[in-house]
Chains A and B, each alone.
Chain A
C-alpha cells in the first residue's frame, strides 16, 4: 500500500464521518419537528407568531416605558427586553467602576487596603448570586413601611416600597437627549489630547449647563426644578421611586460582579513586568503616576478580554431576577409561556435576544481590544 492510497483512504473516512454527522443532526431536527407537531396537536395549540398581537391580561413589577394590562405580547416582550438591557448595562457600568477600584486596592501597597479588598472579594464571590439576591430581597421587604422610612436629610428615603430619591423635573425625552449629548461629548473629548481630569471637569460643567437650560425651558411655572419625594398619606409622591425588585437586583449583581471584575483587574495589574514599575520609580514618579501612566495602560491589555466575559456574565445574570419578581425578559417569557402556551416561539425569542445582546458585547470588546493594542513603532 503506497502513500497516496493511504491518503485516499483517510480522506474517504473523513468524508464518511462528516456526512454521518450531518445526516444525524438532520434526523434529530426532523424528528424533533415531528414530535413537536404531534405533541402540540395533542395539546390543541396552534404554532406561529400570531399570538404576539393578542393582549396579555397580566401585570408585572417593572417597566421603563408606559404599560397597560391590555398590552399585546409583542409590547410586553419588548418591555422585558428593555428591562434586561437596562438592568444589564447599568450593573455592567457599576460593577466595572467598583471592580476597577477594588481591584486597584487589592493590588495596593498599603496592607489595610489590601485586606479590605480581599475581604470584599472573598465574601461576595463565594456566595451564589441568587442566594445574595434572595437575602437582600428578604432584608428589603422587612424594612419599615413608608411612614417609618429611613431617611437621609429628608431627601432620600428607604422603605419596604423601595428607594425614593430626588429627581430633575424634566421629561424622559429631555433626559435621554442630555445623556446622549454627554456621551457624544465624552467620546470627542477622549479623542483629543487633553488630560483625564480636564475631561471630567469639562463634562461636569457641560452637565450643569444643560441642566440649567433644560429646567429653565421645560419646567412648568409653579414647580421646582427638582422634584423631591415626600410622604403624602400612606405613600410617597414626587421624586423617583426605585422599586424594591430593581434595587435588590442592582445591589446583588453589582456586589457580585464587581468582586469578579476586581479579581480580573488584580490579575492584570499583577502581570505588569516589575522592571517597568521599577523604571518608573527610578524616574521619581509618584505611586499615582506609576499607576495611571504605566501599570493601568499595560494591564488594560490583559484585562479587556476576561472583562468582556464578565460583562456577558452580568448580562446573563439578570435572568435570576425571576427569583425575586423583577420583570426581566426571562420573567416575561416564562410568564408568557404559562399564560399562552406558545413555548417554542417564546423560547426562540428569548434565545435570539440573548444571542443578539451577547454577540454585540463580544463585538464591542473585540473593537476595544483592537484599538488598545500596542502599536508597533
Chain B
C-alpha cells in the first residue's frame, strides 16, 4: 500500500484512455504535446546542437546557437566572485561542505536535534574556516572578497542556522501563558511578515547603524544575516505553530502528571512531534529562503546573480547575457526543484504514516 503511494508506476493504459476520452480531449492532447515537443526541440537546437562550447572558438558564436564559451571563460567569476584566483579551491571545497550538509540532512537518521545541529554547525564551521583561512594557516581572505555562488551559500546556511533557534524561541513565546511575552512575539512576527524582505534587509544595512552606538555596529554582512535570520525565524515560528496545533492538550497534562518540568515535557514529548508534523513546511521554508537570498544583490552584495551580471558586463561578452542568466537560473533551478521534490515526497510519506 505504502509503496503504491510513494512510487507511482506509469500506467500507459490509463494515460491512453484519459488522453483521448472525447474528440476535444484528443485535439488538446495533440496540440499541447506538439507545442511541448516544439519547445523542447527549440531549446535543444539552441542550447546543444548549434551551440559553441569552448572559449577558444568564440569567433564561431552568434550563428543561431548558444555561446557557452562565455561560461567556459567566466564560470570562475560566477561561482566564486572576486575571491583570489589561486585560492579558488578553498571556495569550491567550502561550497561542497554546505551542499553536503544539506544533502545529508535529507536522510531521516539525522533527524534528532543533536545530530542535526552538530551537522549544520560542523558544515558551517568547515565552510567558514576554509573561506576565511587564517585559522587553518592559509592566507586570510576577508568576507568582503567573498562572492558568487559561495556567498549565496554562505548567506543561505548562516540564515538557516541562526533562524532555526530564533524561530523556535518565537514560536514558544507566542504560545506562552504570559500576555506580555505572547504580545511581544506576535508583534514581532506579524510586523516582519507584513514587510517585504527587502525592506527588512535594507533597514539592517542602512538604518541600524544610525540606531546603534558605533562600537556595536559590526559588519554590514552580519547585520544583514541577522535581519534575514529574523525574517526566516518569523516564518518558521508560524510553521512550528502549525506543528504545535497538531499536539493534543492531553500530552502536556500527561507529562505534568508524571511530574516532568516544562522543559522536559517540551524536549522529550512535544518538540519531537512538533518537528515531525512541521517537517514538510520547514523544508518549504528553507527552499524559499534559498530562493530569496538572490535579493541581496539590491543591497550591494556580490552574490551569484551579481557576479553573473558582471560576467556579461564587459563588452566582449555583452551579447551573451541569455547564456549567463540561463546558467545561473539552472543552478537555482536544480537546487530548488530537487529540494522541492524532496518536500513533496516527505508530505506523501507522512500521509502514508497517518493512515
Contacts and interface: CB of A to CB of B under 8 A. Distances in A.
Tell me, yes or no, whether A binds B.
yes
Interface of A: 14, 17-18, 21-22, 25, 31-32, 35-36, 38-40, 109-113, 115-116, 119, 122-123, 125-132, 134-135, 138-139, 142, 312, 316-317, 319-320, 322-323, 330, 334, 337, 343-344, 347, 350-351, 354-355, 358-359
A343 B195 contact: no
Contacts of A334: 202
A354 B196 contact: yes
Given A127-B336, A355-B194, 12 more contacts: A18-B180, A22-B180, A110-B19, A110-B21, A111-B15, A111-B29, A116-B32, A131-B328, A134-B325, A316-B196, A323-B297, A337-B206
B28 interface: yes
A274 to B, nearest CB: 14
A112 B27 CA distance: 10
Interface stretch (B82-90, B209-217, B270-278): B209-217
B28 A320 contact: no
- Interface of A, helix, strand, loop or mixed by DSSP: helix
Contacts of A354: 194-196, 199
Nearest to A338: B206
Interface in B122-179: 177-179
Contacts of A347: 199, 202-203, 206-207
Interface of B: 15, 18-19, 21, 25, 28-29, 31-33, 35-36, 177-181, 184, 191, 194-199, 202-203, 206-207, 209-214, 291-292, 294-295, 297-298, 305, 309, 321-322, 325, 328-329, 332-333, 336-337, 340
B218 to A, nearest CB: 14
B33 to A, nearest CB: 5
Nearest to A355: B194
Contacts of A17: 178, 181
Contacts of B325: 131, 134-135, 138
A355 B200 CA distance: 13
Contacts of B337: 122, 126
Contacts of B29: 110-112
B196 A330 contact: yes
Nearest to B329: A127
Nearest to A19: B180
A36 to B, nearest CB: 5
Nearest to A28: B211
A87 to B, nearest CB: 13
Given A139-B322, A344-B207, A355-B194, A131 B178 contact: no
Given A35-B210, A358-B194, A111 B18 contact: yes
A330 to B, nearest CB: 6
22 contacts: A32-B211, A32-B212, A39-B209, A109-B18, A110-B19, A111-B29, A112-B28, A112-B32, A113-B32, A127-B332, A128-B332, A130-B298, A131-B294, A134-B325, A138-B321, A316-B195, A316-B197, A319-B198, A320-B295, A354-B194, A354-B195, A359-B194
Contact of A344 (B36, B180, B210, B305): B210
A351 B190 CA distance: 13
Contacts of B294: 128-131
Contact of B35 (A18, A116, A130): A116
Contacts of A38: 213
Contact of B196 (A22, A132, A319): A319
B292 A25 contact: no
Given A109-B18, A130-B305, A322 B298 contact: yes
A44 B309 CA distance: 37
Contacts of A131: 294, 305, 325, 328-329, 332
A111 to B, nearest CB: 5
A320 B298 contact: yes
B343 to A, nearest CB: 12
Contacts of A359: 194
Contact of A40 (B181, B184, B210, B309): B210
Q: Which 10 A-B pairs have the closest CB atoms?
A: A128-B294, A316-B196, A18-B180, A112-B32, A126-B336, A32-B211, A112-B29, A358-B194, A319-B196, A319-B198
A66 to B, nearest CB: 28
Contacts of B206: 337, 343, 347
Contacts of B322: 135, 138-139
